[in-house]
Amino acid sequence: MKLQTVRQRMLNTTMIGTAALLALAAAPVMMLVAPTEALAQSLTGSLRVTVSGDGGAPLSGATVMVSSPDSLVSRTGVTDADGRVRLAGLDPATNYTVSVTAEGYEAFGVGNVAVVAGRDLSVGYVLVSGAGSTSTVDDIVVTGTSLAAIDVTSAQVSTTLTLGVVEALPTARNYQAYLQLVPGVKPSNGGNPSSRSGVNYAEAGGGIGNSSDNLYYLDGVDVTDPVSGTFGSNFNSEIIQEQQVIVGGVPAEYAGGSGLVSRVITKSGGNEWHGSLNYYLQNDDLVSEDQHTTSGGFSTYDTAFTLGGPIIRDRLWIYGSYQKKNQEDDVLDNTLGSPTFGQLIRSTTRDQDYTFAKLTWQATDNDRLTLTYFGDPTTVSGQSSSAIINRRDFTREQGGDNYKVDYTRTWGDLIVNAYYFNHEAEIIDTAVDSSVRDNVTYRNAFGSNLYQRQLGGRGLNSEETRNREEYGANFEYYLDTGFGSHTFKGGFSFADNTNFQTDSVPGGVTYNSLAPIYSGTTLASYVGSGWTARAITTQDYATFLLPALSGNARARSILDTNADGQVSSAEAGALVFGSSAGNPYGNTNVYRTVRASDGPYTLRLEYTSLYLQDTWTLDQLTVAAGVRAERTEHFASDDSKIASFEWTYAPRLSVVYDLNGDGRSKVFGFVGRYYDPIRTDMTDFAGALTGPVNNEQIYVSNGAGGEWVTFRTRGPGDAQISPGTKTPYTDEFMIGGSTTIGSDIGIAASVTHRVTKDIMEDFDLTLYSDPTCTQATCGVNGAAFPGSPFYLPYSYFGYDANPGTNYVIGTLPGGKREYTGFELTVTKFKTDNWFGQASYTYNKAEGNANSDGNADFVGDWLALDPRAPNVYGPQAGNIPHQFKAYGGYEFDFGLEVSSVFNWNSGALYTPGSAISGRIIPDMQDPFVFNGVTDSYLVEGITGSEQNPSYYTWDLRFKYVADAPYVAGELEFFLDVFNVMNHQTATGVVNNRAGSGQFLYQEANAWVAPRRAYLGVRYSF
């Protein structure tokens, strides 16, 4: 009898080369954050097991069983004539045992085998025996345990995280923070990071670092907030069994795709009772001195327990968790010029309570019923940002309850799943100061600060619920034929999103005034540049302002100097603001909004989706083809249907080739389309047929007396979703490859190109579609006219005539965003007690619209139209270069030391000025383009500036020891963030007028000071 090496046995047969070395990605693989390339909607995974005997020949009739202490399911199968068997419906875990028995061979078992949800991993075992005799244990050779195994059947680019990964590295304790471990994911303070082509900038406030393009799944259901497009639920991170993050080649199971897809699968319990109790803390005694007066001190603690085990062994398991998080912040005044600069202005508290419970009943070997509950109520006593002064502070109550019922049935190679999910969430914001709000405008050169610009309270109290009811079904069917194997997947889901809102305005009115020193300013001067903020622009003239002034007797008597019965643009521009009559703070009256009536209202959005996919594998070639169909219907506050979008069909196709047939190298290509359905924030904009009414007014005075003139009413009937509106989409084209070096190093690279089109915005039809306009009557006032390239006939929006609303939601003509990126990742998998990873990402993003499911000024101002000059350019928020690295070493005496290093080249931004809360790019003096006179953008202004580059370097020390007197382990943690204490600037002010705290291009955000985070956990 001759015992051959694994390499020799691999070379003896092509089948072994392609199957056995495809490698059983065993548990050490899953204990690392590693780029993977497979994911499916299924909550379970599969193993393809290949068994061969003497001479490398396939061993048929061998019995294979897989089981895990973390799964209620064990599967058994018998190898076919090719020595293969596929075992499906396995729960994700990293501690499976594979047992093989065959006549003439001694029974064999191997542990630490990994199963990943949605993946079809291949493993191979070679059994060696003497002729006619039973082998000994020493004669068994296990193959496929390469730690850098590659999935050579998929083009998807994703990362799999487990608690073993994230708890070995210094990172915050929540699933949003874990996203920062994924290559190419951009920094985010709010937990909603951009990835690749995901928009990373909002004109509202000019904020960077918050994307609404991501999708968040928990146990297979979408928990993305239907209004904001951000994460909609929180929970204790210790309940995570597996978190998968897809950044490219997204399969047909998922909507979206321009951002990332985060998918969490939770724990279920086990046949043995196990649990944990932990406590983490941090306070200002553990933090270095703040060099930028951003914090006056804080303290935080995080405590949680988990408990799971059997109610009935092998049949009924339970798992639960409770987490309490508390943070207290002392907020300092860092507004330059403030008499209280550097002093404590308030203390705030944030309390979070996360509850989770899951009951799993394996009624038979093929039937499973799961009941899940989680809740995340949060109470915030005030805002911790020093950019919010005390009188604009507000409290918040948010969170809610979530329920899910899930049933799965297995018939051999067919798995069917059905589920029901109910999500309840509320957000209640209450102003601390109930005095009337007045936002005061100054000249940029004055150097005003927040206390001068913001008088009175916040000006709004609001209550909102965002509920979701969803049900669906999925199936997976595996078919092995004489011409390759097929894995068919399909599913259906229906979601009803309900959004209830009610709000009130303290004092019933809010003001936008001029500081008294500017009394005597004309409207023409006010709508020009050089102010800290403007509530009225020239784009308000034709549609709203001039008709209102012409229709008001007093305004007409003051402004209609040529007595023709109409107030012209020039006559309106001569209006002088010089009165403070009735102003709550003695400022010069310009603009105000009067709450005419309050009124609660409820909106709905129904979302239906279908998908079907086939993955066909023949020898070294795999082709996956799928299509996703989606439809949304929007319902107004009177429950009438206001929009029914046509079905969209998103095809997705990938081709993968195993280069050498040994499972160690591959090349792939992917092409696919992702749709981005319009969210309920636009249902609110267009569907509030009942609810509050606000009158926008301008003050008209001739010195002897004045009057507030209503020029626009916002509320019921404010907008419509036009029949011609299309669903935005992104097309992705991707090529890549990956390879394994030795047994523990993996290299992966990909090049991605994406194009986003049919971008949505709201339109002022009087600017775009008035058929009576001419260049002389409208073009000179910044409005399109028939014959102008800007002109859009009513038919473009699906109308025969103007519907009579202030705005309509439609598709931006010529709107486009383009992204090209390259990513390289090198991973050292955990062997010899250490692991590591390094990645580099290059991002190039350009376009002519940042609109992303919101209603900004594009569509209301021709100078911002995608077809206008100088609009196309680098995308604000893009970060051209990113480098990430982490690593760790585990000593034999229980100490583990690990580190995370992140560097980026700084996000691009566009300099501009604040108008109605938006940062509008710098504009030129008016000139004529395509027959329309407007103040078009300055050439090259879009994305022309860049925030500072910076890095972060963090360390973790973890020590594990046996607990004294009781069974179990004690773990002690020490995280040190910003080890070098380089409090580098991360962002600057992009507002030409300054922020009211800092001047234009002064730093306004920094890497936090060096800080330590302590923790201890007992687990059993």
pLDDT-based confidence at 372, cuts 50/70/90? very high
Which pLDDT value is given to residue 21?
Answer: 26
First vs last Cα of the chain: how many Å apart? 46
Q: Taking the CB of residue 172, how many other CB atoms lie within 10 A of it? A: 16
Q: 937-984: per-residue pLDDT in tens?
A: 999 999 999 999 999 999 999 999 999 999 999 999 999 999 999 999
pLDDT of residue 145 exceeding 60, the answer is no
Which pLDDT value is given to residue 408?
Answer: 94
Token output for 905: 């080249």
Q: Taking the CB of residue 109, how many other CB atoms lie within 10 A of it? A: 12
- Are the CB atoms for 387 and 426 separated by under 8 Å? no
3-state secondary structure of 13: coil
Which pLDDT value is given to residue 293?
Answer: 73
Query: Mean pLDDT of all residues in the chain?
Result: 88
- Are the CB atoms for 425 and 232 separated by under 8 Å? yes
Measure the CA–CA gap between 988 and 576, rounded to whole angstroms: 35
pLDDT of residue 666 exceeding 60, the answer is yes
pLDDT of residue 14 exceeding 50, the answer is no
pLDDT of residue 279 exceeding 70, the answer is yes
Token output for 927: 């000139």
To which H or E segment does residue 27 belong? helix 27-30
Q: 715-742: per-residue pLDDT in tens?
A: 888 899 999 999 999 999 999 999 988 8
- Are the CB atoms for 47 and 123 separated by under 8 Å? yes
Q: 507-564: per-residue pLDDT in tens?
A: 999 999 999 999 999 999 999 889 999 999 888 888 899 999 999 999 999 999 999 9
pLDDT of residue 342 exceeding 90, the answer is no
| 341 compared with 3, residue with greater pLDDT | 341
- Phi, then psi, of 518 in degrees rounded to 5: -105, 15
Which pLDDT value is given to residue 23?
Answer: 30
pLDDT of residue 846 exceeding 80, the answer is yes
| 660 compared with 692, residue with greater pLDDT | 692
pLDDT of residue 9 exceeding 90, the answer is no
Measure the CA–CA gap between 131 and 134, rounded to whole angstroms: 8
Strand 401-411 relative to strand 394-399: parallel, antiparallel, unpaired? unpaired
pLDDT-based confidence at 17, cuts 50/70/90? very low
Token output for 108: 């064999």
Tell me, which fold does domain 45-146 have in CATH?
Immunoglobulin-like (2.60.40)
SS3 of 438-479: EEEECEHHHCCCHHHHEECCCCCEEEEEEEEEEEEEEEEEEE
Range with lowest mean pLDDT among 67-76, 308-317, 365-374, 489-498: 67-76
Share of the chain above pLDDT 90, in %: 67
Which pLDDT value is given to residue 751?
Answer: 98
- The domains of the chain are located at 45-146, 344-479+488-497, 508-598+692-720
Share of the chain above pLDDT 70, in %: 92
pLDDT of residue 131 exceeding 70, the answer is no
Token output for 466: 């965002």
pTM tops 0.85: yes
Over residues 693-714, mean pLDDT: 91
pLDDT-based confidence at 704, cuts 50/70/90? low
CA angle 982, 988, 994 (to 5 degrees): 140
Range with lowest mean pLDDT among 263-267, 439-443, 647-651: 263-267
Over residues 803-817, mean pLDDT: 93
